[in-house]
A and B are shown apart, each in its own frame.
Chain A
Amino acid sequence: MMTSQSSPRTLEEALRRLSEDPACIPIAGCTDWMIGARSSGFEIPPLLDLLRVEELRGIRSDGDGLRIGATTTFSDLQQDELVRKSYPVLVQAAGEVGGRQIQNRATLGGNVVNASPAGDSLPVLLALDAEVEVASLEGRRRIPFRDFHTAYRRTALGEGELLTAVILPPAPGFQSFRKVGTRQAQAISKVVVAICAENQEGRWASVRIGAGSVAATPIRLRAAEAVLEGSAVGKATAEAAADAARGEAHPIDDLRSTARYRSWVLGRVVRRMLLS
């Protein structure tokens, strides 16, 4: 088996490799890729290591928001002052992805491109109304995160494109994250929810709820959002939103849980988050 590998230092170089050989596989933390690659048993195509591309790493201000490079790890996210100060919802999610060893390697970009409906950062990016930046040799474009996951494990990433960054808009006032798994650490989510909103003099505004593991892709819970928008913060509204959320999720039975359990838990989680 002959394979060629490369660790480019610049984005330009990485994109050129990708366009010369569209079969090559971009790799970052390898926490998803190594498992799939080995279980498939096929010959491994050329690898394109992204970890040394300077431009893809790091976190910096972007207007009133934040630009997070694609290869930023979940450990980086937990340690970064800007993220800790303004986006606690993302810090919390990062801290619940696998154990330390996974957090030290797993990247935000890998989580997004891997496109598992259980990816823990995805509901957070939905709730924050993030954008993703992708690049090819032709140039860069930004895609609203809500349009990025098009179907089960499908993304809007085109041939020859790499995910370069996730862009966060200014931080919302209310942020909340809950993950329900089999145990507290290192468990894939059965249900994962993120809520971002403003509390305007006791009324909910700009409500966005992202949910994972309850449909083929991470989804916004639009019906629940509509119930909340403009309504008084409190128990009655929280319960109405929980009912709406149960109604709009389409979970499945799988080895981790059942559809009935997931719907039930989703409602409970949404209700509790709104009352916290």
Chain B
Amino acid sequence: MRVAFTLNGRPVEVEGQGDERLLDLLRRHFRLTGTKEGCGEGECGACTVLMDGAAVLSCLTPLVQLDGRELFTVEGLEATTRGSQFLERFAAGGGTQCGACTPGIVLSAARYLSETPVVDRNGIRRALAGNICRCTGYEAIVKAIEAEGGRKDRVQLALHPSDPELTEERES
């Protein structure tokens, strides 16, 4: 079957089986290998992407449901000015070690930071409950997100990728 959707702001079309995982489409078809497979069963959050602005697991999302959706991956985040600055600060703050969990964590975090005027550790913990990290012990991750929340120029996602601000940033 054929589905058309937007991927990091660009319209795309693919032909495939209805049960194909979004995760495989991203990595194999679109060669966007930022999105990682950890468990393939919904437990680890490494494959997190944003669909219509909401964090979802690409390992549990089949092609048949993608038509007309807006998908946003870590590559899309990195392509924005604030997104790439956030990624730099996140890494500098020790939020990443082996990096397997990072694409999922930064997307969950970016979504949380975009919808939460005043961030707090509890909220951060809750936003990240579906993302497992085997390396950092979480403390550095939570601290990095907390610090980001205190900045005036913190990462700000258009909760809908068609938001003009995001498009503008991507082009700059």
- Which residues of chain A have a CB within 8 Å of any CB of chain B? 1, 3-5, 7, 27, 29-31, 34-35, 37-38, 44, 46-47, 49, 51, 75, 98-102, 104-105, 184-186
Q: Are B65 and A101 in contact (CB under 8 A)?
A: no
> Known: A27-B62, A47-B64, A101-B55. Is A185-B17 also a contact (CB below 8 A)?
no
Chain B neighbourhood of A31, CB < 8 A: 42, 57, 60
Q: Are A49 and B64 in contact (CB under 8 A)?
A: yes
Q: Are B57 and A5 in contact (CB under 8 A)?
A: no
B4-28 interface bits toward A, Cβ cutoff 8 Å, 1 = contact, 0 = none: 0000000000000111010000000
A42 to B127, CA, bound (A): 35
Q: Does B67 reach chain A (CB closer than 8 Å)?
A: yes
Q: Does B101 reach chain A (CB closer than 8 Å)?
A: no
Name the residue on B nearest A1 (C-beta): B17
> Known: A31-B42, A100-B127. Is A37-B57 also a contact (CB below 8 A)?
no
Name the residue on A nearest B125 (C-beta): A185
Q: Which of A34, A49, A185 gathers the greatest number of chain B CB atoms within 10 Å? A: A34
B:99-157 near A, CB below 8 Å: 108, 125-131
Name the residue on A nearest B111 (C-beta): A100
Q: List 8 A-B contacts (CB under 8 A).
A: A7-B67, A34-B60, A75-B54, A98-B130, A99-B130, A100-B108, A101-B42, A184-B129
Chain A neighbourhood of B108, CB < 8 A: 100-101
- Which residues of chain B have a CB within 8 Å of any CB of chain A? 1, 17-19, 21, 40-43, 45, 48, 54-57, 59-62, 64-65, 67, 108, 125-131
Q: Are A186 and B56 in contact (CB under 8 A)?
A: no
Q: Are B55 and A37 in contact (CB under 8 A)?
A: no
Chain A neighbourhood of B1, CB < 8 A: 4-5
Q: Which of A30, A98, A186 gathers the greatest number of chain B CB atoms within 10 Å? A: A30
A134 to B126, CA, bound (A): 34
Which of A3, A34, A75 is within 8 Å of B17, CB to CB? A3
> Known: A49-B65, A101-B48. Is A185-B19 also a contact (CB below 8 A)?
no
Which of B43, B45, B55, B61 is within 8 Å of A30, CB to CB? B61
Q: Known contacts A1-B17, A5-B64, A102-B130; can you find 4 more A-B pairs with CB under 8 A?
A: A30-B62, A47-B64, A186-B43, A186-B129
How close is A76's CB to chain B, nearest CB, in angstroms? 10
A27 to B130, CA, bound (A): 22
How close is B145's CB to chain A, nearest CB, in angstroms? 14
Chain A neighbourhood of B57, CB < 8 A: 31, 101-102, 105
Q: Are B45 and A101 in contact (CB under 8 A)?
A: yes
> Known: A47-B62, A49-B64. Is A3-B18 also a contact (CB below 8 A)?
yes
Chain A neighbourhood of B65, CB < 8 A: 7, 27, 30, 49, 51
How close is A40's CB to chain B, nearest CB, in angstroms? 11
